[in-house]
Every structure is written in structure tokens, then in C-alpha cells.
Amino acid sequence: MKKLITIAVMLVSNHLYANTNSSCVQSSSQIKAQYQITESQQNHQQSRELTLWRNGEQVAHQSDNIVELWQHLKNNQIRPIRYFTEHKRGIEYQPSEVTGKQSWSAKYQLLDKKLIDKMKLVSEQGQGCDKSQLLEFADKNIKIKVNWLPELQLAQSIQISQGQYAREIKLLSKNTDKTLINQQFKQWDLYQTTDYADVGDNENDPFLAKMINQGFIEHGATGFYNQNGEMLQGHGHHH
Amino acid sequence: MKIKQVASAIGLTLALSAHTFASVLPDAQSQSEWYTSAQTKLSDKVAGSQTEIKTKAKNVILFVGDGMGISTLTAARILKGQLDGNSGEEGYLSFEMFPYSAQVKTYNVDAQTPDSAGTMTAMISGVKTDVGVIGVDEDIVRGDCSTVAGNELVTATELAEIRGLATGLVSTARITHATPAATYAKSADRNWEDVSDMSETAVTAGCEDIASQLVNFESNLEARFAGVDVDGIDVVMGGGRRHFLPKDEAYNSNDAVSSVEGDRTDGRDLTAEWQQQYPQGVYVTDQTGFDAIADDTTKVFALFNESHMQYEADRANDVAGEPSLSAMTTKAIDVLAKNEKGFFLTVESGRIDHAHHAGNAYNALSDTIELAKAVQAAYDSTDPEETLILVTADHSHVFTIAGYPKRGNPILGKVVAVGEDTPTLANDGMPYTTVGYANGLGFRDLGAETDADAAYNEAAVAGRINLDGVDTQTPGYHQEVTVPLSSETHAGEDISLHATGPGAHLAQGVIEQNVVFHIIDQALELTE
Ligand SMILES: [Zn+2]
């Protein structure tokens, strides 16, 4: 039954895209989009960059030294890989299928498709691939404003405010050069990788030993949001 | 004469005293079910000790639970009983009902707490060696290819091949992973699973990667022993496809999870090489292929996953489907038993270790229960008079069963004391679980997640968490730890060896791990 509802939701949301220009969508399936993320809390402000890479059924979020890459499998599971660019090493994880927790669209376009569907269309301008929409969502906790490029399934800007806390994600540049994108994914693929399951048996490997003894270096810059506008930080609970 | 008299006098005394004591015991004691069932158990043992002991076996099956320490057995036994609707403590895993057992010292030559490479090498070749190396003795320098030559050990699998027995290897880990690799490969490093995992120096110095050694097993063995003619390992089933395929998308199977499945940088497709050597053999990659293995098949090469096979609880999530450990074991026996001389089969449950490393007791225990099922399946499909079955582990984990839970308290639950209905609180005012780990990633609550590896996303959390309202019995619950590490570690205490069948009586006392080989050798007369 739950499955039926999910399918129904997906059909509805697909309908919204029925008029998308197929050549835009195609060109947006291989893209490099550079974002600046600015967070502010009272008089504190912090900025960093995040690059969103798409290559068909693969998406990567690149921040300083970490790349989080996800592969969308044909059975709809998502398989994560985490690359440490400084070490040219990677950790591969088993695909998992945690219903409701793993959202491909949240990784692919930084915002869950269901959140986009839920937002109010305030205004629209431009034509074809350049068409942009101003979308808004607000409840008692959170306010989200998105400048959305529907044909590219790409956010131009995302503004979130939650009490004293504000976060702005701004698209700095985008590039659809296929050669560049293919090359980047190929380069990551050449890194030496280890299964997460094998880390525990590799205490003699200095890179992995560091992980065993000091914990997982740091989190990747996962600046993406689920259908409730909550920022996704992996899929554990915080207590 | 005198000795005989003394002996019979002692016998008389014993007989008398047993009788006398029984009559002086109050009924409440001698009629107690604890008393009578233990007495029956003893009588069975006495009867068993009077039957002729068989020492020579036609077949030997060696089961290895990777990381399956004693606390894992106890907790799995209780969980299994509770899943069957019982209190749990009173039951046995299939192999715990075997008549013989021993306590096994697991340390490696250079390590107090061992790893699978050193321990399996000891079990399969009779010689203890260093941590991290496969099929070579302690004179090896780990990672140095030039030290391999002259230090290679001969394994029970190789000796069984030479004696004309059928041989098999089944694992839920990659078939190139340390435990299965130790049966057929000689490698200065357990991680040399394919050529891309080796240094340029090692490759040019002539060291062969582990996957290649599996496919070239027959020719390598014949080259090592002049005049020997063998027919190769007859059944190989497990994971690890990526080490057998070229790094080229064109070789992806229908079960691929990576964009490019293969890892090999030398362009070799070892699955094709295997098929060429054994045109009559069957190569399969998924459940459908497994189900289609014909009754008259005598050679099987099955690689069900790109990397390790799934945890038993997670098996339904596999892309193209894969069989359980018990299904693989039964199928392997069907194929191997066609050899009239007998067979030697090694079966590894490889992921008990991984679930423990992830700090996830649920998957470690459910994979242990599946191993017990596989042992039962093996027992049921062989003749106990002619088949020696050994069940052991390579090493333990820092997994504990603690506190004072009442009888029948859910083994994965919070401690509830005798006579109580609500969880016992620790000095910090919070409840705590019965099972836990001394180190590792620590608490996380992933609910219905059946994949133990999904715990990676957050850093290690040492110490206490308020578990009020947390269901600690779900597949995705990861237990609390004392020392924060990104991966829970192996433990150094002894593990167990359970045995039944001809030669099983030699499994007794406290033994070094390399004695396991000698028990196999004795039963199959491999070195005679
Ligand atoms: Zn391990």
C-alpha cells in the first residue's frame, strides 16, 4: 500500500515535468554546477564552495577534500562512494534501500523533488532552457525560497531561514562540457578504493588506520534538503 | 594382575557410590528435570565412549565463521531460540550438539590479536604465520614479493586435490578474501586480490595476484609437484567478481553496482579463462544461474557479487539475487559427492566479521544463525559415519554479553533484571543493552536498515546514549562502545572448534589453531 502511494506521488510529480524541453534535460544530465554556500547565525557568517557534478546515473558533491559520489542502480538502490582527493583514495559502500531516507533527487538537484512539488510558484520568467521560477515554502519553523531552473532541474539559488539561522546557496557557474565531466568521473574512478566492510581488517594501511583510530575524517558538504525542508546529514538520528 | 585388581576395585567403588548417592538424594533433586536431563546426557556420553571410534573419514567439511567468537555463539543461540518462541538460553546451535569440541588459541606468530589471513593459513596448512599473509610461513616479509619464493606452504585443499578427492570452496565474502584465499593462494599480502591491488615492483618481480592464482590453481599445483596431475577445484562459490574482470564497462554483469564492475588493469577476463580451461564447467553470477545448475554438473564457478555477498538479512536487496550460505553448501555437496574417493570442502561465513566491525550485533548474529543452518544442511546431506564436520572460527571480536538480565530477556534488548518489568538503570540513570562492544563506531539507530555497513555516515560515538524510546532490537541498531574507533576490532581470546564424524574425537582440550590442519590430515590421510 505504501508503495502505491509512493508511485502515485511520483506520477503526480512527473506530470509537472511533462512539458520540459527534452534537449535541456539531456544537457543537464551531464553538468558541473558550482555553488557558494553561506551560513549565518546572529553575527557569525561562514562561506564555502560545493560543486555538484552530474553524469547520467552518477552524481557527485565535491567540497574541499571530499567527494561524495552516488550511483543510481537499475533496481533503484543508491550506491555511495566517498573519495578523499588529497589521498587519491576512496571508500565504497554497499547500496542500501532505506525507504524515505535515500532520495536520489535530493542528491541530484540538492532539493528533494517532493519539496519542489510542494512549493508555491510565485513567478516565472524566461523561455526554453533559461526558464526560471521563483518558488516559496513556509511553515512555522522554516522559510525556503528557491530560484529554480525547471528545464535543467537545477537550483539557481536557495535561501533558507530558520529562526536566527540562515543559509544561502548560490549558483556561481555551470558547465556542460561532456569531455570535462567524463574526465573528472574517470579520474575519480581510478583512485584506489576500499570497501567500507574491509576497513576493519586493514589497520596496517596508514590511510585506513587513520580512519580506524581517529574516526571518519570529516563530513562531506552535503547541502541538500529533503521533502520537509530538513537538511540531510547522512541518515542517522541525532540525540 | 595387581593393576587389574585395583582397576576393578575402583570400578566397583564408582558403581557403588553412584548408586548410593542417587538413593540419598531427595526426590526434589533427583527427579528434577535439570538432574534427569543431565544424567541422560551423561549416559549418552558413556554409551558414546564405548562405541568403536572411527578415525578415518571419506569426506571432510571445514566450516569457518569469520570473527565468530564464543560470545557470538552464545548470543546467536539465544537469539535463535527467541525467534523460535523460546527463552533462548536452553537451546543449541546445530553444531553445538556435536559430541566433541576444543578451545583454540588464535594468536599469529607476530600478533597477540590475529587476523583471518594468519589464522586460516594456520588451520589449512598446519603452520602458524604472520598477520596479513596468505599461504606462506613466518619468514615472509609482508608486502615483499621477493620473500615469497621458498616460504610457500601446502594446504589441505591442495593435498586433497593431489589425492584425487573432489575439492570445494564456498564463502559469503569475496572468494579472494583472506579466509578463502588461504586455501589456494600464496601471497605476501592479503590485499593482493587482483593485479591492480599490487605494486609495480611486486608484479614485475613475478608475484601472481590472488584471483589469478585461483583460476590457475591446477597448473600452479602441477608445476609445484612434478608428475602430479590434478583436475582443479571443483566448486568455487562466493563474491568478488570485480577481481576477475577487466576494468571495462563491456564486461559488466546484470548484477553490477559499480559503473565499471571489473578492477583488473591487465585486461584479463579470468572468468573466460576459467571457462576455457573447463569447457564442461558452469559459470554463474546470480540466483537464476544458481538454480539452473544441472544435476550432472561436476565443475562450478559462481561469483554472486562484485564484492562481498550480502548479509543474510540484507540478501533480498541484491540486484540480481543470490543464494544463502545453506543453499550454496547443499549445492556444493551435491556436486562434490559425485567423486567416489570423497571430498574436502571449506565453507566460510565471511560477514559475521564485517557486521561486528560495523558494531552491529543483529547482522553478526543472523549470519551466525545462517551458518548453523548451513552446518545442519551439510550434516543432513552426508553420511555421519564417513564425513568429518569441523566448525570453528578464525578469531573473536570485542563483543560482550553483560549485566544481569532475567531469563528470556531479549538478547538484543535492554537489561531487565530478575523479577522486574522495566529496564535496569545504570549509575548515569539510563538503561543499557545486554550486548555491546568494547570499541568501535558506537551507537547509531538506523531502524529497519538491514545493511550493517550503512553506519558509516557519522563519526564514532563513544559511551552512553539515552536509550529511552530506542528500539535496540531492530536490524539497524548499532550497540554502544567504550573506546571510540572507526571500526570495531578483533579480540584475542580463544575461540571454539566443534566436531562430529570420524576423527572428531581428536578435537579436545586447549589447542593451537594449526592443530586443525592435523585433524583434517589424520582423517583424510593427506600426507601419508
Ligand atoms: Zn575482521
- SS3 of B33-47: the string is HHHHHHHHHHHHHHH
Q: Does A200 contact B308 at a Cβ distance shorter than 8 Å?
A: no
Tally the C-alpha atoms within 13 A of residue B495's C-alpha that lie toward its C-beta. 32
B238-255 pLDDT, tens digit each: 999 999 999 999 999 888
Determine the angle formed by the axes of helices B116-125 and B515-524, rounding to 10 degrees.
Answer: 30
Helix (H, G, I), strand (E, B) or coil at B406: coil
pLDDT bracket for residue B21 (50, 70, 90)? low
Distance CA B183, CA B145 (A): 19
**Whole-angstrom Cα distance, residue B391 to residue B379?**
12
Q: How far apart are CA A158 and CA A142, in angstroms?
A: 13
Grade residue A129 by pLDDT with cuts at 50, 70 and 90.
confident
Residue B127, helix vs strand vs coil: coil
d(C-alpha B275, C-alpha B266), whole Å:
18
The pLDDT assigned to A179 comes to 95
Q: Cα–Cα distance between B335 and B231 in angstroms, integer? A: 14
Q: Strand B59-65 to strand B282-284: parallel, antiparallel, or no bridges (unpaired)?
A: unpaired
DSSP state of B207: P
Give residue A94's pLDDT. Answer: 78
* Spatial separation of the C-alpha atoms in residues A205 and B429, rounded to whole Å: 40
Q: At residue B402, what are phi and psi to the nearest 5 degrees?
A: -135, 170
Locate the domains of chain B by residue range. 59-398+490-524, 414-488
**B401 near B74, Cβ under 8 Å?**
yes
Q: What's the rounded mean pLDDT across residues B178-205?
A: 96
In the predicted structure, residue B363 carries a pLDDT above the cut 50: yes
User: What angle in degrees, to the nearest 10, is found between the helix axes of B325-336 and B361-380?
Assistant: 30
| ipTM beyond cut 0.90 | no
Give the pLDDT score at B16.
45
Nearest to B465 among A96, A98, A239 (CB): A239
Q: Give the Cα separation of A43 and B221 in Å (integer).
A: 72
Q: Rounded to an integer, what is the distance from CA B2 to the centroid of its chain? A: 50
Per cent of chain B over pLDDT 90 is 85
- B106: how many CB neighbours lie within 10 A of its CB? 28
Which residues make Cβ contacts (< 8 Å) with residue B282, sequence separation at least 6? Answer: B289, B293, B294, B297, B299, B300, B301
| High-pLDDT (> 90) share of chain A, % | 38
Does residue A48 lie in a domain region? Answer: yes
CB contact under 8 A, A98 and B449: yes
Answer yes or no: is pLDDT of A217 > 50: no
Q: Which of A66-80, A199-213, B162-176, B306-320 shows the lowest per-residue confidence on average (mean pLDDT)? A: A199-213
Per-residue confidence band for B15, with pLDDT thresholds at 50, 70 and 90: very low
Q: Which CATH number goes with the domain that contains A202? A: 2.50.20
Do B170 and B235 contact (CB within 8 A), yes or no? yes
Q: Of the candidates B257, B449, B460, which has its C-beta nearest A79's C-beta? A: B257
SS3 state of residue B513: coil
Distance between CA atoms of residues B26 and A15, nearest Å: 82
* Sign, CA torsion B162/B59/B336/B175: negative
Task: Count CB-CB contacts under 10 A for residue A164.
Answer: 9
Cβ-defined contact of B486 to A213 (cutoff 8 Å): yes
pLDDT in tens, B405-423: 999 999 999 999 999 999 9
What mean pLDDT is reported for chain A?
Answer: 78
The pLDDT, as a whole number, for residue B459 is 67
- Model confidence at A25, pLDDT cuts 50, 70, 90, reads low
| b (16+ CB within 10 A) / e for B340-373 | eebbbbbbbbbbbbbbbbbbbbbbbbbbbbbbbb
B319: chain A residues, CB-CB within 8 Å: 73-75, 77, 95
**Is A205 within 8 Å of A86 (Cβ atoms)?**
no
pLDDT > 70 fraction of chain B, expressed in percent and rounded: 94
Pairwise CB contact (< 8 Å): A215 & B457: no
pLDDT for A98: 45
Beta carbons within 10 angstroms of residue A125's beta carbon: 9
Tens digit of each residue's pLDDT (9 = 90 or more) over B209-228:
999 999 999 999 999 999 99
Can you give the pLDDT at residue B511? 98
Report the alpha-carbon distance of residue B382 to residue B386 in Å, rounded: 8
Cell of B165: 578427492
Kindly list the distances between the CA atom of residue A220 and the CA atoms of A48, A73, B260, B376, B408, in Å, as whole numbers in the listed order.
12, 22, 24, 46, 43
Q: Which residues of B touch A98 (CB under 8 A)?
A: 446-449, 454
- Number of structural domains chain A divides into: 1
Sequence-distant (≥ 6) Cβ neighbours of residue A4 within 8 angstroms: none
B460 against A18, higher pLDDT = B460
- Decide if pLDDT at B67 tops 70: yes
What pLDDT score does B528 carry?
A: 85
Nearest to B160 by CA among B118, B120, B124: B124
Q: How far is the CA of B369 from the centre of ligand 1 (A)?
A: 19
Higher pLDDT, A145 or A14: A145
Instruction: Give the closest residue to A29 by CA, choosing from A82, A72, A68, A62.
Output: A72
Question: How many angstroms away from the CA of B56 is the closest CA of chain A?
Answer: 37
Q: State yes or no: pLDDT of A66 exceeds 70.
A: yes
- Asked if residue A235 belongs to a domain, the reply is no
* Antiparallel, parallel or unpaired: β B481-484 and A66-72: unpaired
Phi, psi for B291 (deg, rounded to 5): -65, -25
Q: Please indicate whether, in this complex, the C-beta atoms of A197 and B307 are within 8 angstroms of each other.
A: yes
Residue B424, Cα to own-chain centre: how many angstroms?
35
The H helix count followed by the E strand count for chain B is 16, 17
Q: Are strands A58-62 and A44-55 parallel, antiparallel or unpaired?
A: antiparallel
Q: What is the domain range of residue A196?
A: 2-214
Task: Establish if A24 belongs to a structural domain.
Answer: yes
CA distance A155 to chain B (A): 25
B453: confidence class by pLDDT, cuts 50, 70, 90: low
Q: Which pLDDT value is given to residue A18?
A: 39
User: What's the pLDDT score for residue A136?
Assistant: 95
Residues of chain A with Cβ-Cβ distance to B466 below 8 Å are 239
DSSP state string for A17-50 = TTT--HHHHHHHTEEEEEEEEEEEETTEEEEEEE
Specify whether B381 is catalytic.
no
- Has residue A224 got a pLDDT over 80? no
pLDDT exceeds cutoff 50 at A69: yes
Per-residue confidence (pLDDT) for residue B48, from 0 to 100: 87
DSSP A113: H
Q: Which residues fall within 8 angstroms of residue B204, CB to CB, at 6 or more apart?
A: none
How far is Cα of residue B27 from the mean position of the Cα atoms in its chain? 45
At A82-121, the pLDDT tens digits run 898 888 999 888 776 444 456 788 889 998 888 899 899 9
C-alpha of residue B490 to centroid of ligand 1, in Å? 6
Look at residue A183 and tell me if it is in a domain.
Answer: yes
Instruction: Classify domain B59-398+490-524 at the CATH superfamily level.
Output: Alkaline Phosphatase, subunit A (3.40.720.10)
Residues 6+ apart with CB under 8 A from B29: B35
CB atoms within 10 A of CB B316: 11
Residue A66 pairs in a beta bridge with A84
Could you write out the DSSP letters of every residue in B307-347? SSPPPGGGGGG-SS----HHHHHHHHHHHHTTSTT-EEEEE
Distance, CA B406 to ligand 1 centroid (Å)? 32
Q: Residue A96: what pLDDT?
A: 63
CB A197 within 8 A of CB B358: yes
Tell me what the mean pLDDT of segment B285-290 comes to.
Answer: 96
Nearest to A195 among B307, B317, B448 (CB): B307
Are A195 and B260 in contact (CB < 8 Å)?
no
Residue recorded with cell 576444543: B102
Judged against a pLDDT cut of 50, whether residue A234 lies above it is answered with: no
Catalytic entry in B116, B212, B324, B326: B116
**Closest to B299 measured CA to CA, from B335, B329, B342:** B335
Chain-chain contact of B460 with A95 (C-beta, under 8 angstroms)? no
* Averaged pLDDT of chain B: 93
Q: Please, where are the H alpha helices in B447-524?
A: 515-524
Which has the closest alpha carbon to B381: B347, B422, B412, B420?
A: B347
Instruction: Give the model confidence (pLDDT) of B124-173 as tens digits.
Output: 999 999 999 999 999 999 999 999 999 999 999 999 999 999 999 999 99
Half-sphere exposure of B192 (CA within 13 A, CB side): 29
pLDDT above 60: residue B80? yes
Element (DSSP H or E) covering residue A83 = strand A78-84
Given CB atoms, is A235 within the 8 Å cutoff of chain B? Answer: yes
Indicate the helix (H) or strand (E) that contains B178: helix B178-181
Q: Is residue A236 part of a domain?
A: no
Q: What is the DSSP track for B26-82?
A: -HHHHTSHHHHHHHHHHHHHHHHHHSPPP---SEEEEEEETT--HHHHHHHHHHHHH
